[in-house]
Amino acid sequence: MILRKKGATISVIIMYITQSGKRGDTHMINQKYAKLGKVRSVIRELFEYGNARKAQIGADKVFDFSLGNPSVPPPEEFSKVLSDLLRSADPVSLHGYTSAQGAYPVRKAVSDYIKNTFGAPVSADKIYMTCGASAALTITLCALCNAGDEVITFTPYFPEYSVFVSQAGATLVPVQTKQGTFDIDVAALTAALTQKTKAVIINSPNNPGGVVYSADSIKALCAALEAHSSKCGSPVYLISDEPYRELVYGGEEVPYVMNYYKNSIVCYSFSKSLSVPGERIGYIAVCDGAEGADDLYAAVCGAGRSLGYVCAPSLLQFACAKLLGKTSDISVYKRNRDRLCSALEEYGYEVVKPQGAFYLFVKAMEEDAAAFAERAKQFELLLVPGDDFGCKGYVRIAYCVSPDMIERSLPAFRDLANSYKK
C-alpha cells in the first residue's frame, strides 16, 4: 500500500494474516516443488544410510544394494577419445555452445548408427541430444502431453516416471504385468487405454525387473496401440526408455521399437553402457514415420528450450559420437547375476532371473516389503522396497557391485531368510 501526505511518500508494508493465523505469503513459493524437494527417494535415503553405516562399522561389513551405480570402469576407448579431443580439437569449438538440439555431426553419427545397427528410420534432423535419459524423458513428455492427458507404463517401473509425467501436466497410469514373468499383459493394457491416453512408456531391459520384452510382446503391444489409435482418431505414442539396451545376457536381443511402430520415440542414455552415469549424456530419437514428425520434433526442441536445456555437454557429445556401440565390461554383471540368483534360490527366495540390466526384483518374505527391508538392515543388507516401483511385496537388489561383495553378502542373505523360518 502507498500513502501520500504533504508531498512525502510513505511506504507501508502490510502483512496480512489468514484465518488460520499463518502468514498469507506462504504461497509465494511453488508448493508442488517444495513438497517434492522435501521427500527424498527411498533409494537415496538408503544410499546415505549406507554411507553413514560404513563410516561406523567399516565399508566391508555393509552390503549396499541400493543404488544402480555402475561398478565397472568405462571402456579404455572412453579415456582415449577424451584425451584425443582435448589434445587435438579446437578448444573454443570443443567447449563452446552447440546447436540446442546437438552438434549436427554428432546427430548424424547417431542416426547413422541407428540405421546401420537396427535398420530403423530415423534421420539426423530427428535426433535431439540430451543430458541423459531422465532429461530425454522429461522433454519428450512435455512435448507430447497437455493437461489432463494420461501416460501408461508397466509395473514394475522406475519411480521417477511419476515425477516426469507430473511435470508434463499428465497422470501416470500403471498397468500390471504378468505375474511371475513381468511380461506385458496386453489385455490389461487394452483395458487401461482411454481417450485421454497420450503415450505408453516401456523400459526394456527393465529397471527393476530385468525383463527384456520379446519381439512377440512388442508386436502385440503395438497392435493394441494401432487399434486404439485408429478407433480414437489420434495416435498413442510409444516411448522406449533405453538406458540398459546393451546390458543383456545369454544372447538376448532388444527389439527396436521403430521397426514395429511408427509413432515411437526412443530415449537413450550412455550412462550404463559406458559406465559414466555422472556425465549426463543421451539423446531423443523421433521416428521419421511418426504422424506429424516435423511438428513433434519441433515440440521436443521447444520443450527442451522451456526447461532450460541450452544444449547437452559439448565435450561429451563429440566423445560419444566416436563411441557408439561400445560398452564397459558387462560380463561382471552377468557373473554377479548368476551367483546371486543361484544362492538366493538355494536359500528359499522367490527370484525372477533377469535377462538384462543389473537388478534383481525379489519377492519379500513377508507382505510388507518395507518391513522386510528394515529387517534386512539388521544383517547390514540394504535392499530397496518395491512399493515405489508399483509392486508391493518385492525388493530391488542392484547387483552392480564387486563380485567380492556378492560373495561376502551371501551369509547375510542366508541369515535373513533363516530369520523367517524360526
Lowest mean pLDDT among 16-25, 30-39, 226-235, 299-308: 16-25
The pLDDT value given to residue 43: 85
pLDDT in tens, 111-150: 999 999 999 999 999 999 999 999 999 999 999 999 999 9
Tell me how many degrees the CA angle 278-162-131 measures, rounded to the nearest 5: 25
Greatest C-alpha distance within the chain: 90
Q: Is the predicted pLDDT of residue 357 greater than 70, yes or no?
A: yes
Among residues 283, 203, 313, which one has the least CA distance to residue 247? 203
pLDDT in tens, 308-332: 999 999 999 999 999 999 999 999 9
- pLDDT, average across residues 278-302: 97
Report phi then psi at 367, rounded to 5.
-65, -35
Q: Domains (ranges, CATH) in the chain?
A: 2-35 (no CATH), 36-69+330-419 (3.90.1150.10), 76-321 (3.40.640.10)
Q: Is the predicted pLDDT of residue 11 greater than 70, yes or no?
A: no
The pLDDT value given to residue 396: 97
256 vs 232: CA distance, rounded Å: 25
- pLDDT, average across residues 84-92: 96
Q: What percent of the chain has pLDDT over 70?
A: 93
The pLDDT value given to residue 26: 54
Q: By the 8 A CB rule, do 366 and 372 touch?
A: yes
- pLDDT, average across residues 355-366: 97
Q: How confident is the model at residue 291 (pLDDT cuts 50, 70, 90)?
A: very high
Lookup: cell for 400: 552392480
Q: How confident is the model at residue 300 (pLDDT cuts 50, 70, 90)?
A: very high
The pLDDT value given to residue 33: 87
Q: Is the predicted pLDDT of residue 9 greater than 60, yes or no?
A: no
